[in-house]
Amino acid sequence: MTDPSRPTATTAATTDRSAADGGPAAHHTGRTTDGATDRTLDLPAAYAACEEITRREARNFSYGIRLLPAPKRAALSAVYALARRIDDIGDGDFDPPGGATVISFEEKSAALAEVRASIRAVRAQRPDPSDPVLVAVTDAARRYPIPLGAFEELVDGVEADARMDHDAALSSGDGARGVDHRNGDGARGVDHRNGDGARGVDHRNGDGARGVDHQDLAARPHATFDDMTVYCRQVAGSVGRLCLGIFGSRPHPHAAEYADALGIALQQTNILRDLREDLRNGRVYLPTEELARFGAELRLDAAGALADPDGALAAYIRFAAERARGWYAEGLKLLPLLDRRSAACAGAMAGIYRRLLEDIAADPRSVYAQRRSLSGAQKIGVALRALAGRTA
């Protein structure tokens, strides 16, 4: 999984910090674990690689990340880059050494297992020294209380996607090949919740927020909203808690839950936005019990758009959007606990997705044949309002 073209770096138990801004040091020298002569640690190159990934791939989140001071911006870019790598494996869009894109279920499973091993190496402060993303995340985790276990939750969710793809491929007679999901919208959620009261199963992990262990959910569509919430917590609530580790907050017993909820809210928005694309790729995230209650069906018409002859699907989307609003309301309770720049960052990310949710709720059929998004000008407007302390 290591790209030989990446800058070379190594890590050390402690890192010199810039007296000016608390950011990564330019260099550190010491001894390698085997006693050999040190290699030079080039943290700026590692962080620069992560920031380039963020600029290139984070079409929505980059508007919020830009509002952070440089040290936090670098650390969050490192977190984003690793989350993006995990997500790309699930979507069949990660190129390992040799240039072969990861597509099959077996390839995805092997790549995700390798990521798990790399996360554990980061925990032990022994990342692959040739991998700038892992080097930067290791350094960021020394400077901020980042809950690294949340990355493994994200892997759980992506494994669920890979298993869903595998089942869809088998049912369509396409063998064990996966489905190539390339949506280019950055890592999954950074922010996440619901408003219907049901928050899924409360599995606490060592990182202070709800963990997950429902890995078998991927073998079938989600039956209930609780099932879907577990998945959203894996792929998006986890990212919310990773961000909170960098943001920092005033002491509050529910801060991690608010971050988790904000991520879940964003992921619910993603699911509604991507209904058609996901269905075409064999993925169904909406709870089957709820669809049945509304008399709604997910299928494509002859033109390849979502079919909704009686408006039942549109009615369901409006219902789901209303519920997601409740998750946003819960998650946005985090903002008063953050410093101004961190609150602006989280507010901008949440604001972009909440604006998108409102657009979808106002016109559910707008997602039937295309993937909705905000314009660049609209995103800048949301970011500026967030910087001014306005989330509406």
**Identity of the residue numbered 175:** G
Mean pLDDT for 61-83 is 96
| Secondary structure of residue 314 in the 3-state scheme | helix
Handedness of CA 246, 247, 251, 255 (dihedral sign): negative
Q: Which residue has the higher pLDDT, 96 or 381?
A: 381
Q: Is the pLDDT of residue 17 over 70?
A: no
* pLDDT, the chain, mean: 81
Interval 245-273: pLDDT, tens: 999 999 999 999 999 999 999 999 999 99
Calculate the alpha carbon distances from 44 to 7, 49, 68, 186 in Å: 10, 9, 17, 23
Query: Is 36 inside a domain boundary?
Result: no
Query: Is 309 inside a domain boundary?
Result: yes
- Evaluate whether 32 touches 10 at the Cβ level (below 8 Å): yes
Query: Is 281 inside a domain boundary?
Result: yes
- Evaluate whether 83 touches 140 at the Cβ level (below 8 Å): no
Query: Is 344 inside a domain boundary?
Result: yes
Kindly state the tokens that stand for 262.
């904000």
Interval 335-345: pLDDT, tens: 999 999 999 99
Interval 38-57: pLDDT, tens: 444 589 999 999 999 999 99
pLDDT attached to residue 170: 77
H/E stretch holding 151 reads: helix 149-171
Query: Is 18 inside a domain boundary?
Result: no
- The CATH number assigned to the domain holding 214 equals 1.10.600.10
pLDDT attached to residue 184: 38
Mean pLDDT for 367-390 is 91
Kindly state the tokens that stand for 109.
């499973």
Q: Residue 125 — φ and ψ, nearest 5°?
A: 60, 40
**DSSP 8-class letter at 157:** H
User: Total structural domains in the chain?
Assistant: 1
**DSSP 8-class letter at 211:** E
pLDDT attached to residue 158: 95
Q: Which domain holds residue 51?
A: 43-387
Mean pLDDT for 21-44 is 48
Q: How many CB atoms lie under 10 A from the CB of residue 16?
A: 14
pLDDT attached to residue 219: 41
- Evaluate whether 339 touches 248 at the Cβ level (below 8 Å): yes
Query: Is 341 inside a domain boundary?
Result: yes
pLDDT attached to residue 173: 60
- Evaluate whether 356 touches 269 at the Cβ level (below 8 Å): yes
Interval 184-232: pLDDT, tens: 343 333 333 333 333 333 333 434 443 333 333 334 679 999 999 999 9
pLDDT bucket at 83, cuts 50 / 70 / 90: very high
Weakest mean pLDDT among 154-158, 189-193, 297-301: 189-193
H/E stretch holding 210 reads: strand 210-211
Percent of the chain topping pLDDT 70? 74
Mean pLDDT for 278-285 is 91
Q: Is the pLDDT of residue 387 over 60?
A: yes
pLDDT attached to residue 202: 36
Query: Is 194 inside a domain boundary?
Result: yes
Nearest to 137 by CA among 60, 65, 76: 76
pLDDT attached to residue 388: 87
Q: Kindly give, in sequence order, each residue whose CB lies less than 8 Å from that of residue 74, ignoring residues fewer than 6 positions away.
A: 23, 24, 47, 50, 51, 136, 140
Global pTM reads 0.78
pLDDT attached to residue 172: 63
Nearest to 229 by CA among 278, 286, 168, 281: 286
Beta pairing class for 210-211 and 203-204: antiparallel
Query: Is 28 inside a domain boundary?
Result: no
